[in-house]
Structure 1
Amino acid sequence: MNAAIINGDLFRNLAFLENRTPVETKQLQFFSIYNENNALLGGTNMVDLYWNGSLWYYKDISDFSREKATIKQRIDSGVCDAVYMNENIFVIVEDSGAVRVYQTVEMDEQSELHLLGYVCQHDSSILSVSAFFNQRNIVTGGMDCCLKIWDIEDLIATYSYSFAHLDIITGTDVKPMCCSVFASVSLDSESLLWDIRRAKPASSIFKKNNCPLSAVSWNTTLENIVAIGTVEGSIAIIDIRQTEVPLCESVEYDRGIHKLLFNPTPERKEQLACCFDNTSVKVFDTERELTQIYEDNSHYDFVRGLAWYKDDLYSCSWDANVLKHIVN
């Protein structure tokens, strides 16, 4: 009992940790490339006494080793996702329920990150963030079953849909070239289409009984096509104009879908990248009944983040590595 009390006192005042070398963040969570001179990488420290995160900013996408990052920013909470608003401003969301807005600034030939705003209004972890075309509004969703539409300039929630789903919201994605429409998926087995201009903003576009949904991606060239992934490992391609039956649906894989991402290049609009709750990265052809056209298993821990740049696909993993995939 005395030893327990002493240990408890040590952890409460943390005096013995002042000179302790921090553990380097290994578990990479998300990856985003704006252009060849602008990319973000984020991770959450899951193996230390503190649950915190790190953010790396790169001005060169040829090498994503941590020591090559132009800026490294320590975050006092785990980081889950990020999205660019424009070339200099981006938003990250945290597992604390917080939203942070950063701006990259060039000062005396040095790059710096300036925190433009911080707000915490979700009651639990935010798992997904997407930006609307106007570069001012974003949508967030997460473990509190709540969806929020944010005005980034004023950093206020202009719309808040409490219990938008009956279970954890696992993904959101906005309609291309649009400022009011987005899709959401949840562990409640349903995907909803939202239009914030309407009095009744939500309508169902896909539901699979007793099969939780885990990922969503909107085709950036074909504005009516949405891909939805499930915890059971299947993918459905939906045309939002006729949602009764999916355009096509893949067989179930042995692990759940974690993230889906369409290739934004118009000439490659049919390519859908996918990572699972395992080490594999795959690319499917959505115009050929989800035929697999690429697979890589070079990672040795769960793959969490995907990013396209031109014809190349990048992935990041809990193994601390970023890999480039030559798909074509």
Structure 2
Amino acid sequence: MTEPMVDVAPKGDLAFAQKPPVTSNYTPKSVDEYIDLLEFSKTGQLYLATSSLNKRSWTGDLWWFNSPEDAPEAEKALTGYRIDSGIAQAKVINPKQLVLGLDSGALQLVTMSSTPHETRDTMQYFFDMMPSYCEHDDRITDLDTWPEDSGGIADGRANCVVTGGMDGRVIVWDTNMGITNMFTQVHPAGVTAVACNKEDNNVFATVGLDGKVKAWNLRNIKSCVTVYCDEMEPAGTVSWVPGQTGVLLVASRTGKIFLLNTETKTTSAHFQLMDREIKNIRWSKDRPELCAIAGDDVTFHVIKVEQQNISKHYSNSSHKDFVRGLAWHPTTGILWTSGWDRTVRQHTIP
């Protein structure tokens, strides 16, 4: 069976001319109930994104906390900002900048800034909102980045961003928000997940609404290959397994997880973790065999992946609504979770 044709758009420099950033001078009154994601800086500061799902306008709020213990209290936040779109995903790309994937289809670059207060002997914190770049014709569903400290092959792609959207496009952006690669008709029904290989800055994987998993290598003329397709067990999201070359952890829409070798296209270590769709996968940095997983459930799990074996290591049901945010603290190793119950909780994993 031949691979479907993937259209490659011409490469460009910048999406459009740069404009001066907009400084955030308004902090929302409170943190919305629906906390969708958590992201830590290298120093342990917490960025939190929410969406208002039941109001007249569908907006997204971005919050900056000096310590995760302060979340989600708005009065303890360093600053916050309301965006005229829901925030689908956010990633820290350097100590001073975040990149946001929005429901509008735009990619938003945010710079964290501070200045001495004009009248008080304190610092004033704010977000500089750089111009957004809208190259997707539908909402961005996921994004990922290659780390600047990648131990693998960099090829100048450190901090590059890969986005996927419901328009079926996959776009690779450089650090100036210029487009280096654009692929259309990748997953015609829409892209649901993107995962960059942290050990090779030319390799990433995508998942489509059709349940297929595709592996990408930007060095090759034929950039992508379908490595998984099973209508009875459609994939929902994926993540590269640390320390295992070419191996993906695949989470299905039925709550099953398993390992996928992208070279041989074979699966192993099938494990039924939950009976709901899995939405989020986060690996521990100081204990790379541990992985936190959450989905459409109040319970989240931590699994242990060792060679070709998967086992459940820890489970917790303290949230009262769906768990959406997962983040491991970069210095303490504590797992932090957030959910649609407007709570942020910490968990010491044994």
TM-score (norm 1): 0.87
Instruction: Name the counterpart of 1:15.
Output: none
Instruction: Name the counterpart of 2:127.
Output: 113
Shift of 1:231: 0.7
Instruction: Name the counterpart of 2:249.
Output: 227
Rounded Cα–Cα distance in structure 1 between residues aligned with 2:142 and 2:49: 13
Instruction: Name the counterpart of 2:179.
Output: 157
Once the two structures are superposed, what CA deviation does each residue of 1:103-128 show, in whole Å capped at 9, x if it has no partner? 11221132221123311111111111
Shift of 1:62: 2.8
SS in 2 for 1:188: coil
Aligned 8 A contact 1:38 1:87 in 2: no
Instruction: Name the counterpart of 1:97.
Output: 105
Distance 1:136 1:269, change over 3 A: closer
* Consecutive unaligned residues in structure 1, runs of 5 or more: 1-20
Distance 1:56 1:184, change over 3 A: same
SS in 2 for 1:286: strand
Rounded Cα–Cα distance in structure 2 between residues aligned with 1:113 and 1:24: 16
TM-score (norm 2): 0.82
Instruction: Name the counterpart of 2:296.
Output: 277
Shift of 1:22: 7.7
Matched, 1:306 2:306: no
2:171 to 148, 159, 178: 148
Instruction: Name the counterpart of 2:12.
Output: none
SS in 2 for 1:253: coil
Instruction: Name the counterpart of 1:256.
Output: 277
Higher relative contact order, structure no. (Cα contacts within 8 Å, ≥ 6 residues apart): 2
Rounded Cα–Cα distance in structure 1 between residues aligned with 2:263 and 2:135: 34
Aligned 8 A contact 1:315 1:324 in 2: yes
Aligned 8 A contact 2:39 2:48 in 1: yes
The answer to which of 108-117 and 44-53 deviates more is 108-117
Rounded Cα–Cα distance in structure 2 between residues aligned with 1:230 and 1:293: 19
Rounded Cα–Cα distance in structure 1 between residues aligned with 2:43 and 2:62: 18
SS in 1 for 2:267: coil
Shift of 1:90: 1.1
Instruction: Name the counterpart of 2:343.
Output: 321
Once the two structures are superposed, what CA deviation does each residue of 1:61-120 show, in whole Å capped at 9, x if it has no partner? 232123221111111111110011111111011111011001112211322211233111
Once the two structures are superposed, what CA deviation does each residue of 1:155-194 show, in whole Å capped at 9, x if it has no partner? 2222111111132211111111332110111221211111
Once the two structures are superposed, what CA deviation does each residue of 1:177-231 show, in whole Å capped at 9, x if it has no partner? 3321101112212111111222110012222224332111123444433211111
2:261 to 239, 247, 250: 239
- % identical equivalent positions: 25
Shift of 1:24: 5.2
Shift of 1:43: 0.8
Matched, 1:57 2:64: yes
1:171 to 193, 217, 222: 193
SS in 2 for 1:96: coil
Letter in 1 for 2:161: I
SS in 1 for 2:130: strand
Aligned 8 A contact 1:312 1:326 in 2: yes
Once the two structures are superposed, what CA deviation does each residue of 1:13-56 show, in whole Å capped at 9, x if it has no partner? xxxxxxxx988521111111123442211011011111101000
SS in 1 for 2:338: strand
Rounded Cα–Cα distance in structure 1 between residues aligned with 2:346 and 2:30: 26
Task: Tell me the C-alpha RMSD between the 2 structures.
Answer: 1.9
Instruction: Name the counterpart of 2:153.
Output: none
Instruction: Name the counterpart of 1:77.
Output: 85
Rounded Cα–Cα distance in structure 2 between residues aligned with 1:118 and 1:223: 35
Shift of 1:320: 1.1
Matched, 1:128 2:150: no
Rounded Cα–Cα distance in structure 1 between residues aligned with 2:251 and 2:338: 19
Distance 1:257 1:37, change over 3 A: closer
Runs of at least 4 residues off by over 6 Å: none
The answer to which of 209-218 and 195-204 deviates more is 209-218
Instruction: Name the counterpart of 1:45.
Output: 52
Rounded Cα–Cα distance in structure 2 between residues aligned with 1:180 and 1:64: 36
Letter in 2 for 1:85: I
The answer to which of 298-307 and 162-171 deviates more is 162-171
Aligned 8 A contact 1:173 1:216 in 2: yes
Aligned 8 A contact 1:37 1:58 in 2: no
SS in 2 for 1:72: strand
